[in-house]
Structure 1
Amino acid sequence: MFLPSRIRRSAGGPFYGAGLGVLYNVRLHFAGAHPMNRALDHLYIFAMVFLTAYSQVVMRWQVGHAGNLPVGLPGKIQFVIGLLLNPWVISGIIATFFAGVSWMLALTKFQISYAYPFTSLVYMLVLASGVVFFRDGVNAGRLVGTAVVMAGVLIIARFG
């Protein structure tokens, strides 16, 4: 009753009567957007991916730079406070905040089932950054898994 008529028509049958009409065959009203606008809408997703990866890499860099975690509770508290006051860590926290904002904006443009798989691109960027900046090891399993994830994202982006 409270659903837009287009959704009510597409969500008929027992699903609608069971209150599941919203979950059945719903299309965002942005689906008919101009292709250029659609491409620009993807910037929200890619901003989230980049900002999240940046945050993770900066955190790893600064935590590694800070040294080992002290054993006692007072030392741990001082260690964490020192990290929280570090300008690089602050930039990572700010990046995480804006990644969340970008994600919210992306969700105004895309169905979550389409947008969410793109978050796996964060893993790929962090993996590559770990190899380049921190000399993290990569085995064949990680490379094959990353290729499979990338293929899945490409399939969703193309046919999603």
Structure 2
Amino acid sequence: MDIGVISVRYARALLKSATEAKVEVQVYADMQLLAKSYVDVPSLRHTIDNPMLAKEKKQMLLETAAGGDQSAALSRSFITLVLKEGRESMIQFMVNSYVTLYRQQKNIILGKLTTATRVSAAMEQKMRKVVEAKTQGTVEFETQVDPEIIGGFVLEYDTYRMDASVKSRLNDILQTLKK
């Protein structure tokens, strides 16, 4: 069976269970943390995939990566089930599938604002409201400082990208002058 199919089945089952237990927000936070752990600690995947490592150790590692004692009981039960079924090599895909399904269910859009200097919380909130008004959804916003853009901002969400940076304007002028 395909990794994608299996991952989505597990993720759907987890989302359904979390929704019925009314803990889907906490499980979502746990799965985001676990997904981030896989990205931040690349050796986690190799460690979990190691057949010589005992299931108990894998359980402890995965639970810690998902928030430890602060994680939902359902998240810990999910990890136990995945390990019991011998599907630990697919857990990263399951976690990412859960995050995607949850966002679809709750109409959550990922947004990213890149600026040359740090923006105030009020400005970030204003940009969030603009995106929410356009998408009719909730926005999870990530802000990033990139001095390379010189000034202005770059706003990205879904497939939309608005580049109002000084760097892009200067590049446009340079291209015009080359013609």
Same fold (TM over 0.5): no
- Normalising by structure 2, we get a TM-score of 0.26
The structure that has the greater radius of gyration is 1
Higher RCO, Cα 8 Å, sep 6+:
1
More strand by share: 2
- TM-score, length of structure 1 as denominator length: 0.28
Q: Is the helix fraction higher in 1 or 2? A: 1
